[in-house]
Amino acid sequence: MAVVQAEVAPADEAAVKRGKIRNYLSRSWPLYVMMVLPVIQLALFHYYPMYGVVIAFQDFNPGLGFGGSPWVGLKHFEFIFANPDFKSVLSNSFIIAVSKIVTLQFMAVSLALLLNEMRSLIFKRTVQTVIYLPHFLSWIVLGGILLDLLSTSGMINRAIEFVGLDQILFLGSNAWFRPIIVITNLWKEAGWATIIFLAALTGIDPVLHEAAAIDGANRWQRIRHVNIPGILSMVILIACLNLGNVLQAGFEQVLTLYNPTVYETGDIIDTYVYRAGLISARYSMGAAVGLFQSAMGFVLIVVAYRLASRYAGYRIF
C-alpha cells in the first residue's frame, strides 16, 4: 500500500512516513497500551523518588522540605569517608555479602544437581517443599529462633557439652559471627535458589543423556559432562547478576543477630545507617551512604552485564 502511495505522489515523503507509522500503530497499539501502566508505575515509584537523593547534599529537615533545606555540598560524603568506622563497616559488608553469594551459589547448584537425579517424584517434591519453606520465614522470626538455638543454654551448646567439649559463645565471638551469618543464610535461601537451576536442568535435551548412557557414561559422568555444561551459562549469568549485590549483606539478618560485642566483624553498611542515620534522625547522612551504596551497585551491575553478555551470551539491549 505504501508503495502504491509512493508511486502516486513521490514528492510527499512525509505523508508516506505518516502512513507507515499509522500502519505500524494500527498493528501494535495494544502493546503500547499494555506498557502504559508499567511505565507510569516506574516513573512514579522509581524515578520520581530519585529526586529525593538531593537530601544527601543538604542538611535535610522534613519541615522545610527539599526546597527549603540548606545546601551543604559534599559535607556528608566527607564525613563518611573521613570516618574510621566506615572502612570497617564497608569491608564487613563486602566480606559477608561475597561469602554469602559464593556459598549460596555453590550450594544451590549442588542441590539442584542432586535433586535432578532423584527418581522418586514424591520424594523429590517433598524435599523441595521442605527446603523452600525457610525462605518464607522472615528474619525477625528466624532471628528469635536462632538466638535461642545459639545461646549458651541453647540446643547447640547442649549438644557440644554432651560430647564433652567446652561451650562456645557463638553470639559474642568475632570468629563465629560471620560463619553464623553465612550458614544461616544458606539454610534459609539455598532451597529457593535451586529453582532457577532446576529449570535450566529440565531444559537440557534428553537426547544428550541417552547418547551418554549408550556410550557407557555412569551417573557421575553424566552429571559432569552433560548436566554441568548444560547449566553452566545459567550459573555464570546468575553469578554475574549477583555482583550487583556485593554490598548488600542483609540488613534484617544482621540486625536481629548482632550485638555490640561483634560490631567489629558484623556491623554492615545498612545497620550503620540504621543506627547513625535513622535512629539519630540524620537523614542526610543516611541518604549519602545510601547514594554511595547505589552508585557502587550501579557500577557493578554495568560490569556484571558486560561480563554476562560476554561469557553467558546474556543480552537485554
Partner 1 sequence: MTKRTILSRRHFLKLSGTVGTTALVAACAPGGAPGTTQGGGGETGEMSQSATRSIPELLGADMPGSPDHPNGWTTVLPDLHEGLPPAPGQEPIEISVTRRVDSQTAFGEGDSLENNPWSRMIEKLFGIKLTVAWSWSSGDEQTTKYNLAMASGDMPDYLETVPSSIFLKMIEANLLEDITDAFTMYASQRWQDIWAEYGDLPWIYSSVNGRKYGLPFVSQLAQNDHILWYRKDWFDKLGLSAPQTLDELRDTALAVVEADIGKGAPGTTVGLLANSSYGANWFGSIDPIWAPYGVMPHQWSDLGGELVFDSIRDEMKEPLELLSQWYQDGVFRKDFFTFSTSDSIQDVASSQCGIHYTPSWGAWLDTVRNDPETVWAFTDNPAGPNGARGRSSASSFYPSPFCFRKGMEHVEEIFQITNFMQELSEEHERRFHGWEGFDYEFQEDGSVATTNFFWKFAAIGPVGTRGSGNIDPANRANEVRYQLEWADIPAEERDAYQTLSLEDPTGVTITGKEALLFILDTAEQGKINAFQSLPTPTMIERNSDLNKLQDETILGIIIGDKPMSAFDEFVGQWKSQGGDQITQEVNEWWATRS
Q: Is 102 in the site for partner 1 (CB under 8 A)?
A: no
Task: Give least dist CB 168 to partner 1, A.
Answer: 10
User: Do residues 259 and 278 touch, judged by C-beta distance below 8 A?
Assistant: no
Q: Does 270 bind partner 1 (CB under 8 A)?
A: no
Does 282 sit near partner 1 (CB under 8 A)? yes
Query: Interacting stretch for partner 1, rule CB under 8 A, among 40-48, 110-118, 166-174, 224-232?
Result: 166-174
C-alpha cell at 175: 570468629
Residues contacting partner 1: total by CB under 8 A: 33
Contact indicator for 70, 58 with CB cutoff of 8 Å: yes
Q: Please state the closest distance from residue 267 (CB atom) to partner 1, in A.
A: 7
Phi/psi of residue 196, each to 5°? -65, -35
| Residue 275 is a binding residue for partner 1 (CB under 8 A) | yes
Residue 67 binds to partner 1 (criterion: CB under 8 A):
no
Tell which one of 267, 268, 304, 308 touches partner 1 (CB under 8 A). 267
Sole binder of partner 1 in the list 17, 24, 65, 117 (CB under 8 A): 65
HEC string of 128-176 equals HHHHHHHHHCCHHHHHHHHHHHHCCCCHHHHHHHHCCCCCCCHHHCHHH
Residue 152 binds to partner 1 (criterion: CB under 8 A): yes
Contact 269, 89 (CB under 8 A): yes
In the beta sheet, which residues pair with residue 71?
Answer: 58
Among 142, 171, 239, 312, binds partner 1 (CB under 8 A): 171
**256 binds partner 1, rule: CB under 8 A:** no
- Please list, residue by residue across 154-167, b when 16 or more beta carbons sit within 10 angstroms of its beta carbon and e when fewer do: bebbeeeeeeeeee
Binder of partner 1 out of 95, 147, 156, 232 (CB under 8 A): 147
140 binds partner 1 (CB under 8 A): no
Q: Rounded CA gap, 51 and 41, in Å?
A: 16
Paired strand residues for 58? 71
Least distance from C-beta 289 to partner 1, angstroms?
12
Residues 6+ apart with CB under 8 A from 74: 57
Q: Minimum distance between the CB of residue 256 and partner 1, rounded to whole angstroms? A: 11
Residues that bind partner 1 (CB under 8 A): 61-65, 68, 79, 83-85, 147, 151-153, 167, 169, 171-174, 259-261, 263-264, 267, 275-276, 278-282
